[in-house]
Amino acid sequence: MAKQKGSALLMVFVDMDPEYDADFNAWYNEEHVPDLLQLPGFLNAARYEALLGGPRYLACYELESPEAVQSEAYRQYHRNPTAWTQRISLSTKGRNFSRLVGTQIYPAENDPYVLGRGMAPALQVGRMLVPEEIEAKYNEYYDTVRTPANLKVPGCIAVRRYHVVEGGPKYLTVYEFEHEKVPETQAWYERRAQDQMHEYIGGSYGHAPGSPGVYRRILPPRAF
């Protein structure tokens, strides 16, 4: 079984104006994602579109480790953009552009099932702003209480948490769902009502603009 997940993620968020939309999507699907998957340390990738929150588009890359985006091959790729890449110019034509590289902090290790699992049909992505004075309790509660409980909700495939080492904010939580309606189910609402994170940590954390976002996979295309 080919390894499809590693210990890090690269996530790129962006909004694109309508006049660039068709060219942007064609470039991503036909050139950019296939090119990156040829680079060392890039294991798998998918593109998603927001149904809740934002930015609208998300590209998610599974990395062997954060070093995948430090390799000479990756740097060489960015030093020599194609004409199509220059025309798209995400950082100038895109709005609300955000690029994050995260190293996995939960679970501590991926088991063989996780390593072989493909890209989820849907994601919920939380980009968390956590004050330093409550970080320890926040991490403890998330890993020992919130995540085990959320994993019992039907349709929740997995939860992985990351420490962001490039970009921000510092904490990234990625829920993998069987479908994008999981956060609208009664079971999810009941679970949220039982959560006592804020009482336990004795403080509050925030979200980056558009977070949490619920995303439906658009590449590879879904059958449903």
Domain hosting residue 190, numbered range: 8-219
Query: What pLDDT is stored for residue 15 in this prediction?
Result: 97
- In the predicted structure, residue 64 carries a pLDDT above the cut 90: yes
| Count of domains forming the chain | 1
CB–CB of 54/221 below 8 Å?
A: no
Q: How far apart are CA 46 and CA 82, in angstroms?
A: 21
* CATH number assigned to the domain comprising residue 85: 3.30.70.100
- DSSP letters, 141-196, are HIIIIIHHHHTTSTTEEEEEEEEEEESS-SEEEEEEESSTTGGGSHHHHHHHHH--
**80 in any annotated domain:** yes
Asked whether residue 1 is domain-assigned, the answer is: no
Summarised one tens digit per residue, pLDDT across range 194-207 is: 999 999 999 899 99
- Domain-located, residue 3: no
**Do the domain assignments include residue 123?**
yes
pLDDT tens digits along 77-136: 999 999 999 999 887 889 999 999 999 999 988 877 666 789 999 999 999 999 999 999
